[in-house]
């Protein structure tokens, strides 16, 4: 066979088209790749094996620090605590604004320096609150309170915040306008973990305002539930509500808050699959990314698909059920926690590829028992792994009951 001179005619498995190789091809043809093109085209590392995103995300960094710190606390292995400390220096260092009208604003990531998503801020800082309340280290509580104060300054009267703010637009007048709005966005995707952080920060600091704002926000969402502003699915909203509702009941002891927690937890059981996970479900397909093809997309095609979302839904349950058991003492929640952990253990990946070994995939087909992804879900292939939202959150949820037990 005549050797081909153009890579289009070479079988793909023999090409070894790493990003470095592609860049050399472009240069040979007189085309240079600018930074934006590199960000778009960089699909593999120079060894051709996998992609690691260049940007540093504050939420994923904080969550990973939490997983390392919890493991160090339980195991006594100090090197993991040292790793966690290095990560926390990023969260509370360059990603944290100090002084001025934006004091306490936590940056989303190095590629979106001026953006603030409250749910991501919460996930970056919750490990610091777990540390303060359950492991005896209060070193970050003051900074966490500064971050909560910033978010409250941009939260509507009903305790709900819009999905994000951008520093370019965030003048004093705009912050005042956001604060005077009657209603924010009633979305568990964007506000549930913000409320959980407020409640735990209130407990760690004694600031009653945090509890009041979170209570208003969660009560407003539950007035609308199940018709909240869904992002990925109805299942996602339920999964994200378990943790804050558990902490709310733990904080107030009010029967109506206990009923809210049980209502969501019981509704969630309606979409449970025999394999142990929870199906993605979206009544009326009203989620913002339901059946989308423009950018990210929900992983379900039809309600009833045997698909568990390990990025937006099921990954939050070990932590949520752990707190629900702590708040209520109900063994039912302990069994739900145990079942969610067993499901995670059954879906954890084992691979000779170190970047996959021990991680969890984007989603899981519970009938076929294999990694799953939706073809329209831009940026998320079946084996895309989120170190913070998925891996670290699952690990922290697995360890939390032992953390709570050790505290007692």
Q: Which fold has domain 57-229?
A: Glycosyltransferase (1.50.10)
CA-to-CA dists, residue 376 to 68, 126, 211, angstroms: 34, 32, 40
Segment 164-193 mean pLDDT: 97
> Does 277 have pLDDT greater than 90?
yes
Tally of CB atoms within 10 A around 367: 12
Q: Using CB atoms within 10 A of its CB, is residue 314 exposed (0-12), middle (13-18) or buried (19+)? A: buried
Segment 33-44 mean pLDDT: 39
Give residue-wise pLDDT tens across range 213-252.
Answer: 999 999 999 999 999 999 999 999 999 999 999 999 999 9
H or E segment at 166?
Answer: strand 165-166
Banded model confidence at residue 293, pLDDT cuts 50, 70, 90: low
Banded model confidence at residue 63, pLDDT cuts 50, 70, 90: very high
Cα separation, 238 vs 195, in Å, equals: 15
Q: What is the mean pLDDT of the chain?
A: 89
Segment 206-212 mean pLDDT: 98
b/e burial code for range 345-363 (CB count within 10 A of at least 16 → b): eebeeeeeeeebeebbbbb
* Strands 363-365 and 370-372, sheet pairing: antiparallel
Tally of CB atoms within 10 A around 266: 11
Show the DSSP H helices in 225-367 as ranges.
234-252, 255-269, 317-328, 331-347
Tell me the two tokens of residue 281.
């479900």
* Contact present, 384 and 330 (Cβ < 8 Å): no
> Does 36 have pLDDT greater than 50?
no
Cα separation, 359 vs 357, in Å, equals: 6
Give residue-wise pLDDT tens across range 70-129.
Answer: 999 999 999 999 999 999 999 999 999 999 999 999 999 998 999 999 999 999 999 999
Please provide the DSSP assignment of 179-219 as one string.
HH-S-----HHHHHHHHHHHHHHHHHH--HHHHHHHHHHHH
CA-to-CA dists, residue 82 to 78, 101, 129, 388, angstroms: 6, 33, 18, 18
Given this model, what pLDDT does residue 118 score?
98
Give residue-wise pLDDT tens across range 4-34.
Answer: 333 333 333 333 334 454 445 445 545 454 4
Segment 297-311 mean pLDDT: 94
* Strands 307-309 and 165-166, sheet pairing: unpaired
* Contact present, 379 and 313 (Cβ < 8 Å): no
Cis amide prior to 226 (ω within 30 degrees): yes
Give residue-wise pLDDT tens across range 119-159.
Answer: 999 999 999 999 999 999 999 999 999 999 999 999 999 99
Please provide the DSSP assignment of 346-365 as one string.
HH----SSTTTTT---SEEE
Q: Which is nearest to 221 in space by CA: 213, 179, 320?
A: 213
> Does 49 have pLDDT greater than 80?
no
The DSSP bridge partners found for residue 109 are 57, 112
b/e burial code for range 1-12 (CB count within 10 A of at least 16 → b): eeeeeeeeeeee
Every domain of the chain and the residues it spans: 57-229
Cα separation, 315 vs 17, in Å, equals: 34
Place of tokens 């998503």: 117
Report the SS3 class of residue 373.
coil
Banded model confidence at residue 51, pLDDT cuts 50, 70, 90: low
Q: Which is nearest to 403 in space by CA: 120, 65, 66, 119?
A: 66
Given this model, what pLDDT does residue 10 score?
33
Given this model, what pLDDT does residue 33 score?
41
* Contact present, 272 and 356 (Cβ < 8 Å): no
* Strands 307-309 and 363-365, sheet pairing: antiparallel
Full-model pTM: 0.88
End-to-end CA distance of the chain: 73
Q: Which is nearest to 316 in space by CA: 334, 340, 295?
A: 340
Cα separation, 107 vs 140, in Å, equals: 17
């Amino acid at each position: 066979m005549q050797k081909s001179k153009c890579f289009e005619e070479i079988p793909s498995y023999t090409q070894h088209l790493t990003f470095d190789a592609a860049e050399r091809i472009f240069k040979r043809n007189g085309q240079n790749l600018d930074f934006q093109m590199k960000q778009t085209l960089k699909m593999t590392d120079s060894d051709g094996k996998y992609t690691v995103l260049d940007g540093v995300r504050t939420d994923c960094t904080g969550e990973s620090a939490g997983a390392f710190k919890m493991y160090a606390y339980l195991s006594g292995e100090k090197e993991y605590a040292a790793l966690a400390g290095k990560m926390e220096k990023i969260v509370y260092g360059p990603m944290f604004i100090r002084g001025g009208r934006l004091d306490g604003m936590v940056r989303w990531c190095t590629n979106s320096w001026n953006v603030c998503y409250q749910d991501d801020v919460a996930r970056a800082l919750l490990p610091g609150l777990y540390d303060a309340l359950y492991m005896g280290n209060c070193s970050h509580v003051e900074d966490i309170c500064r971050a909560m104060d910033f978010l409250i300054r941009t939260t509507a009267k009903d305790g709900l915040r819009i999905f994000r703010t951008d520093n370019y637009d965030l003048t004093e007048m705009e912050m005042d306008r956001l604060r005077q709005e009657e209603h924010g966005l009633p979305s568990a995707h964007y506000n549930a973990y913000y409320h959980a952080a407020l409640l735990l920060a209130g407990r760690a600091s004694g600031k009653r305002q945090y509890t009041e704002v979170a209570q208003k926000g969660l009560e407003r969402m539950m007035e609308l539930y199940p018709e909240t502003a869904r992002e990925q699915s109805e299942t996602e909203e339920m999964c994200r509500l378990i943790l804050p509702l558990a902490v709310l009941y733990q904080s107030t002891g009010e029967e109506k808050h206990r009923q809210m927690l049980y209502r969501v937890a019981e509704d969630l059981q309606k979409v449970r699959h025999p394999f142990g996970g929870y199906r993605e479900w979206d009544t009326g397909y009203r989620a913002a990314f339901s059946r989308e093809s423009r950018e990210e997309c929900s992983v379900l095609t039809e309600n009833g698909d045997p698909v568990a979302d390990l990025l937006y839904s099921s990954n939050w349950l070990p932590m949520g059920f752990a707190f629900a058991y702590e708040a209520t003492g109900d063994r039912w929640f302990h069994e739900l926690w145990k079942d969610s952990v067993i499901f995670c253990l059954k879906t954890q990946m084992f691979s000779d590829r170190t970047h996959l070994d021990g991680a969890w995939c984007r989603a899981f087909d519970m009938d076929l028992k294999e990694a799953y992804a939706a073809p329209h879900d831009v940026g998320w292939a079946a084996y895309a792994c989120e170190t913070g939202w998925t891996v670290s959150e699952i690990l922290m949820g697995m360890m939390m009951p032992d953390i709570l037990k050790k505290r007692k």
